[in-house]
């Protein structure tokens, strides 16, 4: 069924604009308390990133949960994957993250984890929405929930991150530039790297409530890339505001995205006999990744965009490794959700064990040029995309032109009235021309 509030990863929007308002979040807290806590006496964990609006929403959630009779454990500013981990290890019944990930500070959002530290299934999100439509009822005063702050949350998570690399793996002598995006990793990420022996130069670690993701972090890696070159570092790491994804740079300053990182981890694991099954990507994963894994004999499947879809496919297949081009990587043998710090540690681990630079490790995969054109469409036109015989014929013609050395992706936007026309192929000029032609066909058929 269609949902009013939940998107691909929780609830997100501009602060002060429905539904990201204090009164709605109060009701959301109560609904979550009823659905996820119920008669379960275990607490609900709440963490947040560094946005100024987090203070307001933390209080609203806490109040709503207490009204439902749920106890609360407050973690303060912590990465999203830390909330997933601490939800499990504190034996909480659920975890809530107050964050809009890589969005600017004017936005905020809410992500949810089950008691196992995994994203909620669709039916649970639907149940929360149904509860939101009911009257706000407070439990009896004697049954109200209480709140407590977890003082050692950061230390617990730092030790967990360090424990995900093999014992004895030290980063001694490795020079790293780390960009924390003025977000939730600003304390824990530098500590993890330095305690493992790396010489970390840290930027984007002075949050003021307004500067999260502001010309820094994984959505603006240029600052990190420039620092790598100027300091002669071995690698650069740029995390996003809530710490669940990353991009990197090699010693030349060249960007290393999620597809590159996934290839490096998968190929290293296969060489060591540690790869369980294959790799899961998305419809947007570069065709070069698929071919490179194919050459290594590693199975590769695609899902819809979103880490929850990747997670579901990994669990269904009994595999452990997957990710998105954006740098949202999952290694289910290390942790239960995407984690930028742990993903970066896996890459540094490969560099140490192989003795190779990040530049050399990525050479086994050659990316295909990609062009994406956003086509504005009229209301309801996204639903007619699959039924258009003219568009289907145009796609078949373009695929014939690519002759098996490229891909066509037509994907409705989940947040705007757009059709995203994406093409990949070996010849960048051909890809651009075919993308324009296909976009024109989509525009003629469905355009606003």
Indicate which residues carry an active-site annotation. Answer: 101
Considering only CA atoms, which of 117, 81, 125, 121 is closest in space to residue 99? 81
Q: Which two tokens stand for residue 114?
A: 């089950």
Please identify which residue in the block is written with the tokens 């977000």: 183
Expressed in percent and rounded to 5, the helix, strand and coil fractions of the chain are 40, 20, 40
Cα 308 to Cα 86, 231, 243, 364, 374, distances in angstroms: 19, 38, 16, 28, 24
Half-sphere exposure of 119 (CA within 13 A, CB side): 23
Residue 295 Cα to chain centre, angstroms: 28
Asked whether the bond before 35 is cis by omega within 30 degrees of 0, the reply is no
User: Which letter does DSSP use for residue 377 in this model?
Assistant: B
- Please name which of 117, 239, 258 lies closest in space to residue 182, comparing C-alpha atoms: 239
Distance CA 83, CA 75 (A): 8
d(CA 157, CA 153): 6
Q: Which tokens is 23 given? A: 């009164």
Ramachandran angles phi, psi of 151, nearest 5°: -75, -30
Distances (CA, A) of 250 to 51, 229, 348, 421: 30, 9, 11, 30
Alpha helices by DSSP H, listed for 103-250, are: 122-132, 153-162, 188-195, 222-231
H helices present in 355-427, as ranges: 358-361, 389-402
Nearest to 278 by CA among 316, 237, 304: 316
């Amino acid at each position: 069924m269609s949902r009013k509030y939940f998107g691909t990863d929780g609830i997100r929007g501009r602060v002060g604009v429905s539904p990201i308002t204090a009164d709605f979040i109060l009701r959301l807290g109560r609904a979550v308390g009823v659905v996820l806590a119920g008669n379960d006496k275990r607490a609900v964990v709440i963490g947040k990133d560094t946005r100024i609006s987090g203070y307001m929403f933390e209080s609203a959630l806490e109040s709503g949960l207490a009204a439902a009779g749920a106890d609360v454990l407050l973690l303060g500013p912590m990465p999203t994957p830390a909330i997933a981990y601490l939800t499990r290890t504190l034996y909480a019944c659920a975890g809530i993250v107050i964050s809009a990930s890589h969005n600017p500070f004017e936005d905020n959002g809410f992500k949810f984890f089950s008691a196992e530290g995994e994203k909620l299934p669709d039916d649970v999100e639907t149940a929360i929405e149904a509860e939101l439509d009911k009257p706000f009822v407070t439990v009896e005063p004697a049954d109200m929930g209480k709140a407590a702050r977890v003082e050692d949350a950061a230390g617990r998570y730092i030790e967990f991150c360090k424990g995900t690399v093999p014992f004895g793996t030290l980063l001694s002598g490795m020079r790293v530039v780390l960009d924390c995006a003025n977000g939730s990793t600003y304390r824990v990420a530098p500590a993890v790297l330095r305690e493992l022996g790396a010489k970390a130069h840290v930027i984007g670690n002075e949050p003021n409530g307004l500067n999260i993701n502001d010309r820094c972090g994984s959505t603006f890696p240029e600052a990190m890339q420039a620092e790598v070159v100027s300091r002669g570092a071995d690698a650069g790491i740029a995390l996003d505001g809530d710490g669940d994804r990353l991009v990197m740079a090699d010693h030349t300053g060249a960007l290393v995205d999620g597809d590159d990182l996934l290839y490096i981890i998968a190929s290293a694991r296969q060489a060591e006999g540690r790869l369980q099954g294959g790799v899961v990507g998305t419809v947007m994963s570069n065709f070069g990744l698929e071919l490179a894994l194919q050459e290594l004999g590693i199975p590769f499947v695609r899902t819809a965009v979103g880490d929850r879809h990747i997670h579901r496919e990994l669990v269904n297949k009994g595999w452990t490794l997957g990710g998105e081009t954006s740098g949202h990587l999952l290694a289910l043998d290390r942790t239960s959700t995407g984690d930028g710090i742990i993903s970066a540690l896996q890459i540094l681990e490969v560099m140490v064990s192989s003795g190779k630079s990040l530049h050399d490790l990525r050479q086994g995969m050659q990316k295909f040029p990609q062009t994406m054109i956003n086509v504005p469409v009229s209301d309801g036109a996204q639903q007619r995309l699959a039924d258009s015989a003219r568009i289907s014929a145009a796609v078949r013609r373009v695929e014939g032109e690519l002759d098996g050395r490229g891909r066509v992706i037509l994907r409705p936007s989940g947040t705007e009235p757009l059709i995203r026309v994406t093409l990949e192929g070996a010849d960048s000029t051909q890809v651009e021309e075919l993308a324009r032609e296909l976009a024109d066909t989509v525009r003629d058929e469905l355009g606003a």
